[in-house]
Amino acid sequence: MLPVESSRRSAKADESGCQVFKARILWRKKVKQFLPCRLTIFSVTLVFVLCSSCSNKSADPEPDYQPGRNHYTTEVEGVSREYYVHVPTAYDAGAPTPVVFMLHGATASGEGTYNNSGWKEVGEDENILTVFPTALAYCYNNAFGVPTTATRWHSFPPVNNFCSGQFPKDDVNFLRQVVVDLHKRFNVDSKRIYLVGFSSGAQMGFRCAVEMSDVFAAVVQSGGTYQVDTVFSSRRNVPIAFELGNTDDTWFGPGVDLPMTSFDNALGKDPIFKRIINVHVNSFDFESTYTMTGDTSTALTATFRGIPNAGNREFTFTLIK
């Protein structure tokens, strides 16, 4: 098994209330199950003309967005960074709206993920703002140890695998700036901002669970995570999910899979899985024991309850067939 990023999308999320988001995602066209806290749409945004006390009339500035795809840039640490936002047709500027960030994998881009991840369709159906940032390109050692120059998120070392001499920019600063920009342009529900990451983006998601838990209400890691047995101190403890496909060749090797019936045993014996569990349990205050649910024909989920055992804060580790 290789402790590197995944090439297979696999995630699923369940609704768990406005304060706590129980995050699970399956990349199987079940996107309508992903959404927290569905909103009822009462009206389409209205544009009002404001009248001053004098006889001259002035109109509000035009909104800096349109329904559908929007491309923005922002300067962070002297570098122009880009991100895409899908604004659903039913977006109402008068109503606080949830936000989901989707972080792409290595070699990909915000635009590609906007087009192919399925999240803009989720945002359209459920009236959620979906955000697709783009990482910068660096030299890094890929899953097979080959130096490659392509986009990659600046996650915690050593899983980021940057080549010697690389000085990556701080992507936490970038994502925080995007959040500031979103608040300026949109009516964002600050309590319902979530992050989903795939592969390298999932590794960045772990870093965000530590350093941006004051912003994100929950984090989902799909096909990638932090695999070093250490302890981080997070700003606050949020629900976290990690999901992996059982035939992912960057984890299990080409042509090798992990039998679904072996998942429970692997959680206690496989050294990589044990490190993943330990760093999540010890960094975010989860119980070290778990309950197993699901079906070997679809997916199995090990659920680690939060400490104290109250509410719905959980760490879930899911193996997807």
Say what the pTM is.
Answer: 0.81
Q: Which domains does the chain have, with CATH numbers?
A: 69-320 (3.40.50.1820)
Q: How far apart are CA 218 and CA 160, in angstroms?
A: 22
Output the average pLDDT for the chain: 84
6 pLDDT exceeds 50? no
Q: What is the three-state SS of 20-55?
A: CCCCCCCCCCCHHHCCCCCCCCCCCCCCCEEECCCC
Residue carrying the six token digits 């199995």: 300
pLDDT at 60: 53
Radius of gyration of the CA atoms of the chain, in A? 20
By the 8 A CB rule, do 128 and 246 touch?
Answer: no
Query: Any idea what DSSP says for residue 163?
Result: P
Q: How far apart are CA 25 and CA 13, in angstroms?
A: 4
Closest listed residue to residue 166, CA positions, set 136, 200, 143, 144: 136
pLDDT tens sequence across 246-290: 999 889 988 999 999 999 999 999 999 999 999 999 999 999 999
Q: How far apart are CA 146 and CA 148, in angstroms?
A: 6
44 CB burial (10 A radius; 0-12, 13-18, 19+): exposed
**Concatenated DSSP letters of 2-14:** --S--SS------
pLDDT tens sequence across 27-84: 333 333 333 333 333 233 322 222 333 333 334 567 899 999 999 999 999 999 999 9
